Amino acid sequence: MDRWSLVIVLLAVIAVLIGFSLEGGSIAALWNGPAALIVFGGGIFATLVQLPSAHYRPFLALLSWLIAPPRYSLDTLLSKLMACGNALRRDGPLALEKVASSEQDPVLRKALMLLADGNDAGALESSLLLELKSRAQRDEELVGVLDNFAGYLPTLGIVGAVLGLMQVLSSIKQPDVLAAGIATAFVATFYGVASANLIVIPLANTLRQRLAVRNRYYEAMMLGIVDLRNGTNPMALHYRLQGIVL
């Protein structure tokens, strides 16, 4: 499983903590339960308000890509397309129905069924384009949830700091308590700014990069299916798509 992105994020957080420690700060001083509740609890719920319940499962599935991203291999796709092309030239469109029934990728399975049904190249291409565009838009909306979360975190960090300062100012007649309380109050601001810029934004961009790979894979698949419909030789199709970089 590809956990490299999570490792890099962890190293970034560790670098900040080490820098804080080298400046003479205490790591233990950065822990504040109420501040964490305000920033992360408030940020999560404010974000979920904008996410339809029907998107919860797709969103969690997308987040799982940060740990175990799907693998998209152009070589595997070319092998499948060549096998489909040979079956089509040898046994006709009905041979693709058997291939489609055993295909795990829902987009490729749909494309093969459309090809087996005898759709012309224009109709086939428009159907696949609509499918890919719809998926890309939905996935961008799901990644946008992380963008919203990253936007709320620094703001809620300021809210947490203000609330902490309000509490601290009630002890203004006790200078020692006041100084310690001000330092603690700003922990919420640290939580908000650090988590947004060191964790959420980098992970959102990582997901976008992986979605871009998937989109190029599906675009190559669409080109291949349309070429098969147009009667392109499977070997010629192989050489045509070989230059696509995922």
Which range marks the domain in which residue 93 is found? Answer: 4-241
Q: Does residue 126 fall inside a structural domain?
A: yes
DSSP 186: T
Angle at 210 between CA 61 and CA 1, to 5 degrees: 65
What distance in Å separates the CA atoms of residue 238 and residue 76, rounded to the nearest whole number? 11
- Provide the token pair at 142: 């799901």
Q: Cα dihedral angle (222, 225, 230, 234), rounded to 10 degrees? A: 120
> Total structural domains in the chain?
1
Q: Does residue 199 fall inside a structural domain?
A: yes
Average pLDDT over residues 180-191: 81
Q: Does residue 8 fall inside a structural domain?
A: yes
Question: Which of 13 and 240 is assigned the larger pLDDT?
Answer: 13
- Return the percentage of the chain with pLDDT > 90, whole number: 40
pTM for this model (two decimals): 0.85
pLDDT tens sequence across 103-148? 888 899 988 888 888 778 888 889 999 989 999 999 999 999 999 9
pLDDT tens sequence across 69-115? 888 988 889 888 888 888 888 887 778 888 888 888 889 998 888 88
Q: Does residue 185 fall inside a structural domain?
A: yes
Q: Residue 175: its pLDDT value, please?
A: 63
197 — pLDDT class (breaks 50, 70, 90): very high
239 — pLDDT class (breaks 50, 70, 90): confident
pLDDT tens sequence across 149-171? 999 999 999 999 988 888 777 76
Average pLDDT over residues 159-187: 76
Q: Does residue 246 fall inside a structural domain?
A: no
Q: Does residue 60 fall inside a structural domain?
A: yes
Q: Does residue 55 fall inside a structural domain?
A: yes
Helix, strand, or coil here: 67?
Answer: coil
Q: Residue 1: its pLDDT value, please?
A: 45
